[in-house]
Amino acid sequence: MAEKSAGSAANVAHVTLTRALALGSRQPSIKDIARLARVSHPTVSRALQNSPLVSAETAARIRKIAEEQGYRASAVARGLVTRRTRTVGLIVTSVDDPFASEVACGVEEVASDRGYAVLLANSHADPERERRVVQELAERRVDGLVVTSSRVGALYLPLLKNLDVPIVLVNDQYPGEFVHSVTIANQEGMRAATDHLIGLGHRRIAYLGDSNGYRSDTERLAGFQEALADAGIDFERELAVEGDGRPEATMEAMNRLLRLKRPPTAVCCYNDMTALSVIRAVRAHGLRVPADVSVTGFDDLFFAAYLAPALTTVRHPMRRMGQMAMENLFKLMSGQESIAQIKVGAELIVRESTGKVPKRGRHHGQ
């Protein structure tokens, strides 16, 4: 007797995964457990939910049998009757994008903490595909939706009314406001970066945007212009160019800037990925960062601190924003009204990619 229990205790690690089923070959259903415990299946259901309506001994017995059989209630059957799947959809542009994956991590974190699962889908920044993906998630009856960098944005409004699936947007790119969103202070952040450059003596500062970032690009450019205006520097149209997200396009845009008669001494990039390509283009021209050209990023992706020179950038608390989005979504799903739009602050992180303006006439400038 004593040896027997000792023996099974030794197997405990295995047991968690094995638990041979004495019935058929398929997974046991609640009725199988009920039969083994000689009770009705509702009693099993209640016992497993710690309902007070079932006696302690019966509950213990049922739980023991369920454990032995490795029984796990089917979430799909439960979802059918409760009309809640305890699942949320998460739409990102692409999981391998460092920005998106950080947000995803925050979302998964708090969802998982509350027993929710996350259905992942990529939109690839394609409005058409984003719409399709939303439909597929709706078909799977997710309880809520988090969408990062949405290109559809306000178009969700009607869907919201009919499907009544709460939606929270992170870093919404659609012009105009959506009901629930978590965004960063784009304008203020870029303004801080620009101010920093101006403080270092730069006067010819370029802005290298991204046509993919509809709204945030617009806002960041606005912050850039605001800083120039307040410093009494004229905004020169030729110094504001943009890429389309692809490294080649960004490098080409930067090349155009460097070939200008009077090239900029500093460039504010739409984000860190842009800055990566910009630095590359600068070096391809035989110039140094920051000695010849200062560069700022935006987002503070994990590798920004590891670059040489380490990137001066604006911190975008992506993971935290993912958490906030999910927390907000939970409030919406539980019916309570919550803050509609959350705007988080952007913090300038000064590192090594920015420096004082070079003595004039360094390169092909006059």
Partner DNA sequence: CCCCCGATTGCACACGTGTACGAGTGCAAT
Partner DNA sequence: ATTGCACTCGTACACGTGTGCAATCGGGGG
Give the binding site for a copy of itself (CB under 8 A).
13-14, 16-21, 25-27, 70, 72-77, 79-80, 85, 87, 90, 94-96, 98, 101-102, 104-105, 108-109, 112, 115, 117-122, 131, 135-141, 155-156, 158-159, 162-164, 276, 279-280, 283, 302-303, 306-308, 319
Of these partners, a copy of itself, DNA, none, which one is at the site of residue 46 (CB under 5 to 8 Å by kind)?
DNA
From the list 31-39, 108-116, 200-208, 303-311, the region that binds DNA by CB under 7 A is 31-39
Of these partners, DNA, a copy of itself, none, which one is at the site of residue 14 (CB under 5 to 8 Å by kind)?
a copy of itself
Residue 221's identity, in one-letter code, is: L
Q: By CB under 7 A, tell whether 211 contacts DNA.
A: no
* Window 39 to 58, contacts with DNA (CB under 7 A): 39-43, 45-46, 48-49, 52-56, 58
Peptide bond into 175 cis (omega under 30): no
For DNA, which is the closer residue by CB, 164 or 234?
Answer: 164
Find residue 360's DSSP bridge partners.
none
Q: What is the per-residue burial (b if ≥16 Cβ within 10 Å, else e) of 265-303? A: bbbbbbbbbbbbbbbebbeebebebbebbbbbbbbbbee
Q: Name the token pair of 30.
A: 């609640």
* Window 61 to 90, contacts with DNA (CB under 7 A): 71, 73-74, 77-78, 80-83
For a copy of itself, which is the closer residue by CB, 72 or 262?
Answer: 72
Where does the chain have alpha helices with state H? 2-10, 12-17, 30-37, 41-48, 56-69, 75-82, 98-113, 127-139, 156-163, 186-199, 214-230, 247-258, 272-284, 318-333
Taking each helix axis from N to C end, the angle separating 272-284 and 247-258, rounded to the nearest 10 degrees, works out to 50
d(C-alpha 319, C-alpha 327), whole Å: 12
From the list 28-36, 108-116, 249-257, 311-319, the region that binds DNA by CB under 7 A is 28-36
For DNA, which is the closer residue by CB, 41 or 129?
Answer: 41
d(C-alpha 173, C-alpha 121), whole Å: 18
What is the contact mask toward DNA in residues 247 to 276, using x (rule: CB under 7 A)?
Answer: ------------------------------
d(C-alpha 13, C-alpha 19), whole Å: 11
For a copy of itself, which is the closer residue by CB, 223 or 297?
Answer: 297
Find residue 88's DSSP bridge partners.
118, 144
Q: Residue 355, Cβ neighbours under 10 Å: how many?
A: 21
Of these partners, DNA, a copy of itself, none, which one is at the site of residue 21 (CB under 5 to 8 Å by kind)?
a copy of itself
- The contact set with DNA (CB under 7 A) reads 26, 29-31, 38-43, 45-46, 48-49, 52-56, 58-59, 71, 73-74, 77-78, 80-83
